[in-house]
Chains A and B, each alone.
Chain A
Amino acid sequence: MNPTSDKVLFSARGIVKNYGHVQALAGADFELREHEIHALVGDNGAGKSTLIKVFSGDIQPDEGVVEMNGRQVQFSSPRDAQVAGIETVYQDLALASTLDTAMNIHLGRELLVRGPLAKLGFINRRAMQRNAAVQLKDLGIELPSVAVPVADLSGGQRQAVAVARASAWGRQILIMDEPVAALAPQQTEFVLSLMKRARDERGLAVIFISHNLPHVFLASDRVTVLRHGQTVLTKPTAETDVEELLRAMTGIMNTEGRASA
C-alpha cells in the first residue's frame, strides 16, 4: 500500500530474555525496513513488550544480536537507544505528571540559556515552550497550553504529548507500545494518523504494538506475530488476513469463536 523501501534499517535475531524461571523471549527475530510501519502482535505474554524494551535500551537481552544499519549495536540504557535515533512511546507513556508539556518533551534534552550560565545548567524555559508549541503544531496537536502540568491533561492529550516527544527527537525509529489501548475511537484515529505522518513526513520507521487487529490492518505496512517469545510470522499486511494472524497468534488451526478477539 505504501511504497516502502526494501532496505533493512534494523534487525534482531535470536533474542532471548529470561526473568528467573520465566522465559519472556525464546529466540525472537525481527526485521524493520526503512519507512515502514511494522505492527508487532501477539497474545498476552507473547513477549511483545519485552522485545521492544530490548530495542529501546530499557532492558538488555540475555542472548541475541541486534543490528542497526548493518552494524551490531548494544543498548545498555534508554539513552544509548536515543542516541542511535530510536524513540519510544511506552504503554504507560512515561511522562512526569507534575511537569508541563514543554518540560516533558525536553526532559533529558533540555534547552539551556545562552552564555556562561549554560555551563551551570540554567534552562531556557521559554525556548522549550516555543519549541514544544512548534512540535505540537507540526503534528496537528492542539493543547490549551504547553505550560500546564500533564497531570491536568486528558488521556488523549497525554498520549499526544508522548507521541510528540518521541517524534520530535526520533531520527530513525519510532516505537509505540499499545499507543491507542486507552483511547476513544476519535483519538485512536488521530494517533494512528500521527504514526503515518511520522513515516511520511519525517521519514521514520515505526514499530507499533497492538492488540487490536483492525488497527493493524488500518495502519501497518508489515506485521510480525510473536507467540511464546518466538517469531512465528512476518508478512506484508496486505497479504494476510485476520484469520491467518489469529492462527499464528494462538497456534490453533480452528479459529472459530475467537474471530472477534
Chain B
Amino acid sequence: MNIGTHGRASSEHSPAKQLRELAARFFKLESALLVVILGAMIVIFTIISPSGEFFSSGNIRSIALDTSEILVLSAGEMLIIVAAGLDLSIGSIVVFSSVVGAKTLVALSGSPAQVAQFTYPHLALGITAGVVVAVLAGLGWGTLNGLLTAKWGVPPFIVTRGTLSVAVGLAQVITGGLNVPNIPPALQNSYGSGQLFGIPWLVWTAIIVVGILWILLELTRYGLHTYAIGASPEAARRAGINVRLHTISLYALMGLLAGIVGIMDVARFDTASIFAHTQDNLTAITAAVIGGTSLFGGRGRMLGTVIGAFIPATLRNGFVLIGVEPFWQNVAIGSVLITAVYIDQMRRRRAKIT
C-alpha cells in the first residue's frame, strides 16, 4: 500500500509524513471506509438540516433508539453469516416472542377484569414471567432452526424461510390476527421510554448485547471457531471442533436475541405488534454485508456491522430532516449497499496484490 513512500521513509520525519503514515494505517483498518462514509453522512446532514437539527442530542438519541432493535438482530445475524449460515426467520421470531411474552405478561399481572381496567395487582410476577417466556420462545425457535440445519442438513435458507412463515403464522393464530392489548403501561414507562444518563434503556440494552457479542466473536474461542466453520466446515471438523453443536448454538443464540428484541419491542410500543418486523431479516443481513461481512462466511468484523446498521438508519433519518421525499430512502440504501460491497471487494483485491 505505501510502496511509494518506502524509499524516503528513513530520511524524513516531518509532521506531514507522520500524518500520512497515520492515515495509511487507519485506512488499512477493515472498517475505515465505513467510518468515513458514516462520518461524511453525519457532517453533510448536519450542514444541510435546518439549524443543524440533525446533530442535536434529541435527534441522535432518536436515531439510536430507532436502531437499537435492529442492532441486536444484526449482531446475531452477522455471527451466523460469519459461520456461512443465514437466518431469515428473525423478524417472525421477534413477533412470536413478543406475542407470547405479552400474553403471559397480561395473563399473570391480574384477572381479565382487572387488566381490562388497567389495574395490575401482580405486575412484577407478570413482567418477569413475560420476559422469561419471550426469551425462551425465541431460544426455542432458534434451537429448532439450528437442529433442522445442522442435524438434518436442510439448507438454512429453506429452514429459516419455513420458520419465518410458521412462527408468524402461529403468532397470528394465538392472537386471532390482532395486536395484544392491555399491556401494563408500567413496562413502557420504566423500561421502554426510560433513560439512564440521557441514554434510553433500549439503547443501553443494545450496547450491552452487542458489546457481549463483539467480545464473543473477536476475543474468544467461540468466535474463532465461528470464523473457522465459515471458512471451511471440513477444516473445522478435522481440527476437532464440534461443527454441528456450534452451528446449533449459533441459531439458538440468534433466537434468544430475537426473544430479547421481542421484549424491547413490547416495552417500546406498549403492544405486541403482529404485522411489524417483516423486513428485519433483510435489514439485518444488509447491515452485516454493508459492514464487510462475507456472505460466503469466514469474514466480518463487529464494528463494521454496527456501522452497517447505522448507515441506513442515518440515511433514513437525515432524509426526513432535510425534507427529501421518503421514497428516495430505498433508492439510497440500495445504492449504498451495492457501492459499499463493491469498494470493499476492490480493496481486498488490491490488498492481495501488494
What is A's interface to B at a CB cutoff of 8 Å? 56, 58, 77-79, 82, 88, 90, 92-99, 103-104, 107-110, 112, 120-123, 152
Contact = CB atoms under 8 A, between A and B. Distances in A.
B28 to A, nearest CB: 12
B246 to A, nearest CB: 12
B298 A90 contact: no
A88 B240 CA distance: 12
B235 A98 contact: no
Interface stretch (B59-67, B150-158, B163-171, B216-224): B216-224
Contact of B221 (A78, A82, A96, A121): A121
Interface string B303-321: 0000000000000000000
A77 B242 CA distance: 10
A96 B235 contact: yes
B228 A96 contact: yes
Contacts of B219: 122-123
Given A98-B298, A109-B239, 15 more contacts: A78-B237, A93-B235, A94-B238, A96-B235, A96-B298, A97-B231, A98-B231, A98-B294, A98-B299, A107-B235, A108-B239, A108-B241, A121-B220, A123-B220, A152-B352
B232 A79 contact: no
A120 B241 contact: no
B71 to A, nearest CB: 23
B298 A107 contact: no
B interface majority secondary structure: helix
A77 B241 CA distance: 10
Contacts of B240: 77-79, 82, 108-109
Contact of A107 (B222, B228, B294): B228
Given A94-B239, A152-B352, A110 B221 contact: yes
B220 A96 contact: no
Interface of B: 219-222, 224-225, 227-228, 230-232, 234-241, 294, 297-299, 352
A251 to B, nearest CB: 33
Contacts of B297: 98
A90 B239 CA distance: 11
A96 B228 CA distance: 5
Contacts of B352: 152
B152 to A, nearest CB: 20
A179 to B, nearest CB: 16
A60 to B, nearest CB: 14
Contact of B235 (A95, A121, A123): A95
Nearest to A92: B234
Contacts of B237: 78
A120 B223 CA distance: 12
Contacts of A121: 220-222
Max chain A Cβ within 10 angstroms of own Cβ: one of B225, B228, B232, B238: B238
30 contacts: A56-B238, A58-B238, A92-B234, A93-B235, A94-B235, A94-B239, A95-B232, A96-B227, A96-B298, A97-B231, A98-B231, A98-B297, A99-B224, A103-B227, A104-B235, A107-B228, A107-B235, A107-B236, A107-B241, A108-B240, A108-B241, A110-B224, A120-B220, A121-B221, A121-B222, A122-B219, A122-B221, A123-B219, A123-B220, A123-B221
A107 B236 CA distance: 8
A96 B232 contact: yes
Nearest to A162: B235
Contacts of A120: 220
B208 to A, nearest CB: 16
Nearest to A128: B224
A28 B231 CA distance: 34
